[in-house]
Structure 1
Amino acid sequence: MQTLNAKELNNTRKSHLEVVFFNRVPKVGSQTFMELLRRLAERNDFQFHRDAVQKVETIRLAEDQQQELAEVISDLPEPSVFIKHVCHVNFTKFNLPTPIYINVVRDPIERVISWFYYVRAPWYFVERKAAFPDLPLPNPGWLKKDFESCVLSGDQECVYNQGVTVEGIGDHRRQSLFFCGHDYECTPFNSVGALERAKHSVESQYSVVGVLEDLNTTLSVLEKYVPRFFQGVREIYDTSAQYLTKINKNNFKPPVSEEVKDIVRRNFTREIEFYQFCRQRLHKQYLATHLPLKTIV
């Protein structure tokens, strides 16, 4: 068995700010993790902060916006948690102390299907319209679109061409963008360069990147590697699991056949590789804290 070093796998020790920055990927169970952090804030005596709901949520920021965000986070009272849908920000670039980065990933095909139906859910538009009354209502034809037909008909919304860049509000086809960063080199879909940048960011900057499908392992690793904030997280989850698993659950999402999923997988090769990379790292972190001490060097 490969020798595991718990200290080397622990990026929490490299942080210079007692602030957890959860730059959450959409549709990876982040609402559940956000609720856990709300409850942990009371238990473990830290402050909870999240970005306000925005009319247009931009995940890639210009350099001056990145600096502004980094300054806001650096000015938070310690200890605190800050949560926002946004790509990874390099605090060192702005001569600011580095926070404790965490995030969560999900099987990329399941995630893109979840996003497709999430933005079409009736309650999603009711909430958005209540917050921003001037938002136009979506086209009925777009609302009725189903994922399988979208893929099989070659609809542009469900064509995932290699190397294509989608500009505008944000690119929710993939999760590696949230780790790669704000540079243009991170934007081509399923590219080698974006994949390698995202991997390097996870290994060098993130204390923990959890995996939705490995929730118990994720909670255990968070408790071990970021104990100031996550001590007691498994107990809180175990006592509230029935409620927490229903948060933001979309009952309007129909099943998608494996045949259609396989079609999509062909163009998600590097997204799948990134997901497996994060999963392997999480398991290494778990093993490093559970193996006999003599095997951890």
Structure 2
Amino acid sequence: MNWLTNFVRPKLNALMRGTKEIPDNLWDKCTSCEQMIFHRDLVSEQYVCKHCNFHMKFPVKERLEALFDKAYYTRIPLPDVWLDPLKFKDSKKYPDRLKTARTDTGEKDAIIVAEGTIGGQKAVVAAFDFRFIGGSMGMAVGEGLVLAAERAVQTKAAYITIPSSGGARMQEGILSLMQMPRSVIAVEMVKDSGLPYMTILTNPTTGGVSASFAMLGDIAIAEPGAVIGFTGARVIQETIRSTLPEGFQSAQFQLDHGMVDMVIDRREMKDTVGRILNFLMSKK
């Protein structure tokens, strides 16, 4: 009798059959320091690495839950827009690209408009989802920004935008660029009503988004490490043929040169925004 074959192996097989499979999403790797982080810990820290403090991509719905009081908010549906005005096609047709993005994100477009309270004060928030074609600003996003501003005026609430975008959506051509002045007019409408407008600049805030509503906040807050600028460093350097300062598009550089008012850790964002809104709204 072979005790390894007849006794040990059956015992091991029985143990293996009773072992549960390890979930694929149990661990995450920091995209900066590459340290492994227990997923549950990463979620509780709002996707900030506990090893190097790097602010990783924050899912837009979880961001809204972290910002609003009691993690509760009401979504405002986006209006319908013309889906493919230019019949655009690059490596794939634009409607096919939209269909893929909607399947991957479960969202209609690259923006979510929500309302609720922050620090006890009414607020309307327009937050970008970078997963949706790089958070690019097309007609649907423009409509969302205008809708959010109108809702803020209607309900006498603060207006907050949270851009995370590569800029205008070129598949919509000039119609996407038209959303820049539209978003600026929407901001002015809020300001003319005596209501506060705040921006929370996340990584990245670039292109036509940074060249319009994103840099017009009465209070401009940035997350640590966020890239904020108009176009890529290489393009600028090749255009002006001059060496650029190191990290000139970083949030800290923008703070040092007066382009943003503060750089706030994501985990402190809700309390900071709440204090600011209480001050501004009480003054009103």
- State which structure, 1 or 2, has the greater radius of gyration over its C-alpha atoms: 2
Same fold (TM over 0.5): no
| TM-score normalised by L of structure 1 | 0.31
Query: Which has the larger helix fraction?
Result: 1
Query: Which has the larger strand fraction?
Result: 2
Higher relative contact order (CA 8 A, sep 6+): 1
